[in-house]
Amino acid sequence: MSDTAVTSTLASGQPDWSAMVTQLSKPADLLGMVGQDIGTGQWHAITQHQVNLFADATHDHQWIHVEPERAAKGPYGGTIAHGYLTLSFCPVFLDDVLKIDAVTAVVNYGVNRVRFPAPVPVGSRIRGHVRLVSAQPKPAGLECAFGILVELEGSDRPACVIEALVIYR
């Protein structure tokens, strides 16, 4: 059984469903939620410092990511986040919207599909809209596929569209 808790309200006093958190007692509660929206998380700023750290960790120092002066004259008008940096926010987006009490481990199992329709400029903000696509009991635990649409603030196009796989134990 799931409970949803509204974490904030709008100035009008109405619930802010974009800040919804789904609270569950155990992973098996997800079985009855297939096809449902789990929630929309909070905004996360993308900084040049984050991009530089990611470049160092991945050895991807392409100028469109780490050279602000050169990138200002490039195709995006400034530096942009690595697509895989955006993708790496999947666990953050899930944690923003889904809390499960009786879980011993949450394992990132992979992705079925990922696309990067729009670049993420440094200084912009992103958030995840999460939907449960499937939930299947497996020997390793409950395998869930989450559809995550990464919204780029002020853009008509998503920054990333992902179907992420997670195993709950």
For residue 140, the domain's CATH number is 3.10.129.10
Residues 6+ apart with CB under 8 A from 155: 118
Task: Tell whether 65 is covered by a domain.
Answer: no
Give the global pTM. 0.88
Instruction: Give the β-pairing of 98-100 and 20-24.
Output: parallel
**Per-residue pLDDT, 19:** 62
Q: What amino acid is encoded at 94 in this protein?
A: L
**Per-residue pLDDT, 9:** 44
Count of structural domains, the chain: 1
Q: pLDDT averaged over consecutive 10-residue blocks of the chain (169 residues)?
A: 42 54 95 96 98 98 98 98 98 97 95 98 98 97 98 97 98
Task: Tell whether 53 is covered by a domain.
Answer: no
Task: Tell whether 6 is covered by a domain.
Answer: yes
Tell me the residue range of the domain where 90 lies: 2-46+81-168
Task: Tell whether 134 is covered by a domain.
Answer: yes
Task: Tell whether 60 is covered by a domain.
Answer: no
Task: Tell whether 67 is covered by a domain.
Answer: no
CA distance 123 to 148: 21
